[in-house]
Amino acid sequence: MKITFKHRGEVLDESLSLRFMLPVIAENVFTIGIGLVFSRLISTISGTALAAIGLANNAMAVMYALFSMVITGTAVLVARHIGAGDGLQAAGTIEQSVLLTLVTTAVASAVCIVSASGLMQLLMPAADEAMRGEAVRYFRVLMLSFPFYVLHSVLSGVCRSMGDSRTALLAAVAMNLVQIGTAWLFIRGFRWEAVGAGLAYVVCRIAGAGFLFAALVRDHRFFAIRVRNILRPQAAVCGRILRLGIPCGIESIFMQMGYTLANTMALALGTFHGNVFQVLTTLGTFATIPQTICSNIALSAVGHLLGAGKYTDVRKAGGGIWWGGILSQTALSVLVVLLAAPMAAIYSADAAVVEHSAAIMWVLVFVNVAGISINAIDPQLRAGGDVRYVMFVTLSAVWLVRLPLSWLFSFYWDMGVLGIFLANGVSLWLRAALGLARWFGKKWMYKKV
């Protein structure tokens, strides 16, 4: 029996069905769960490993954000093409996105590997030599996985855009099992420490990207991908991907740069506050599971409905996604706050760090309720082609609100790491309000993509 999301008895789109939602939920829960286990393994390397590797991961996240232009542009176009029943255009978009990804990320990886030492010095000016060395070694190995990381994200987005969340789930399960197995072997078995943690990412991301590519080449339900076409650049198709994607890339990279600067501020507060920041950030990853789920569902469902010209259904579906996200996010955030102390103790053996983390865990509710609204509404605006508005709002909130307030709260008013999270919450609430105001209008649904 197939159960679908309905509005007054009317089926809107298969991307709102439990058949689509459950694999998306399972994928995110499983991936974040493995991520928490991986973080626990990293914390056994040394007392500074979690903070050092966390900052290196943030540096990679900035690079990843740049290439979100291909990820988002491809996902939006494939969803719209499938909604319109145009399999040929969908296939062409996927083929060109693979070419764009492999060529550009290979160059970016090489640049980052060469400049790793200087980059970590820039991001960790107050860190000691041992901590910085851990970050450099890990970052250089990690960047070898970067092309496969971005390719995996592109192809996962394609699967969900065509309504196939099951294949994305299977790839995520395979990839994460490989990651945790190799991490255990490299870190605990071979004692390769930070290098071993990076190598685990290399192996698992190659496996994940390869799994998805093979699956899409074999799948002929909506389109037929031709491997030979990947080597034939098509300027028009690449141009469409980039027109949609570049504002998303600019938005993401400056947002991640802002997050990295906030992380640097946390380290500048001292090792104690840096460790508290990493513990809260790690637990916050678990608490934000509904955000990624809502984002994936919203982009796919609204993209299909817009491609099919069902504008009335867009509003019904989008509202249901928003309300469902708010309720689930609030419940999960409260649960994490209630379990704050035992969860924090998993990632730090320092009783003072655990106590302080648990004492300010409540801020996650303030931050995450705004975050779920953003992740439910912004993907809908992007699916409609309203990418520049989302970019403008995000950059303004991060650079004009979050970062100045982070300095004001944390250093001038001496609130410590709590100030960094409060500043983030204020900027997120601003973004959520402006996103909802735009969504209640109509122009975003009728833009040409």
First to last CA, the chain: 36
Q: Which amino acid is present at 29?
A: V
Query: Coil, strand or helix: which one is 220?
Result: coil
Q: Rounded to an integer, what distance in angstroms lies between the CA atom of residue 100 and that of residue 97? A: 5
**Per mean pLDDT, which of 5-14, 28-37, 375-384 is the most reliable?**
375-384
- Mean of the per-residue pLDDT values for the chain? 87
**pLDDT digit string (tens) for 428-445?**
999 999 999 999 998 899
**b/e map of 170-192 (b: 16 or more CB within 10 Å)?**
bbbbbbbebbbebbeebbeeeeb
246-273 pLDDT per residue, tens: 898 888 888 877 877 877 787 778 778 7
Tokens 């104690």 sit on residue: 272
pLDDT interval class at 73 (50, 70, 90): very high
Mean pLDDT for the stretch of residues 106-122: 93
Tokens of residue 224, six digits: 């037929």
Instruction: Give the distance, in angstroms, between the CA of residue 112 and the centroid of all CA atoms in the same chain.
Output: 20
The residue to which tokens 């946390």 are assigned: 266
Report the distance separating Cα 200 and Cα 209, nearest Å.
14
* Whether the predicted pLDDT of 285 surpasses 50: yes
Band the pLDDT of 5: cuts 50, 70, 90.
very low
Element (H, E) at 238: helix 235-268
**Helix H or strand E segment including 7:** strand 6-7
Measured over the CA atoms of residue 298, residue 151, residue 282 and residue 117, the dihedral's sign is: negative
Q: Which two tokens stand for residue 431?
A: 């973004």
CB 415 within 8 A of CB 363: no
Point out which residues pair with 10 in neighbouring strands. Answer: 7
User: CA gyration radius for the chain?
Assistant: 21
**Cross-strand pairs, 17:** 4
Q: What is the pLDDT of residues 197-252, one digit of tens each?
A: 999 999 999 999 999 999 999 988 888 999 999 989 999 999 999 998 889 888 88
Give which of 212, 265, 278, 254 is closest to 405, Cα–Cα: 265
Strand spans (E) along 9-83: 10-11
**pLDDT band for position 389 (cuts 50, 70, 90):** very high
Q: Is 6 helix (H, G, I), strand (E, B) or coil?
A: strand
Task: Supply 122's token pair.
Answer: 């820039």
Q: Given pLDDT bands bounded at 50, 70 and 90, which one contains residue 9?
A: very low
pLDDT attached to residue 207? 96
pLDDT tens string 147-176:
999 999 999 999 998 889 999 999 999 999
3-state helix, strand and coil shares in percent for the chain, rounded to the nearest 5: 85, 0, 15
**What is the CA 267 to chain-centroid distance, rounded?**
23
Phi, psi torsion values for 11, nearest 5 degrees: -75, 130
Whether residue 414 has pLDDT greater than 50:
yes
Neighbouring residues of 80: CB distance < 8 A, sequence distance ≥ 6: 303, 304, 306, 307, 383, 449
pLDDT tens digit string along 298-336? 988 888 899 888 888 889 889 989 999 999 999 988 888
Report the number of secondary-structure helices (H) and strands (E) in the chain: 20, 2
Structure tokens at 379: 């993907």
Residue 233 Ramachandran class (φ > 0 left, ψ -120 to 50 alpha, else beta): beta
Q: What is the pLDDT of residue 432?
A: 96
CB 291 within 8 A of CB 325: yes
Q: Bigger pLDDT: 412 or 202? A: 202
Residue for token digits 């500048």? Answer: 268
Which residue matches tokens 């912004």? 378
- 196 to each of 41, 45, 139, 184, 189, how far by Cα in Å? 11, 10, 11, 9, 10
pTM of the model: 0.79
- Amino acid identity of residue 108, one-letter, is A
pLDDT at 276 over 50: yes
Model confidence at 90, in pLDDT bands (50, 70, 90)? very high
Residue corresponding to tokens 């990820």? 71
- In this structure, the number of other CB atoms found within 10 A of the CB of residue 244 comes to 23
* Amino acid at position 21, single letter: M
Dist. CA 51–CA 266, nearest whole Å: 10
98/234 Cα distance (integer angstroms)? 12
10 Å Cβ neighbour count for 431? 25
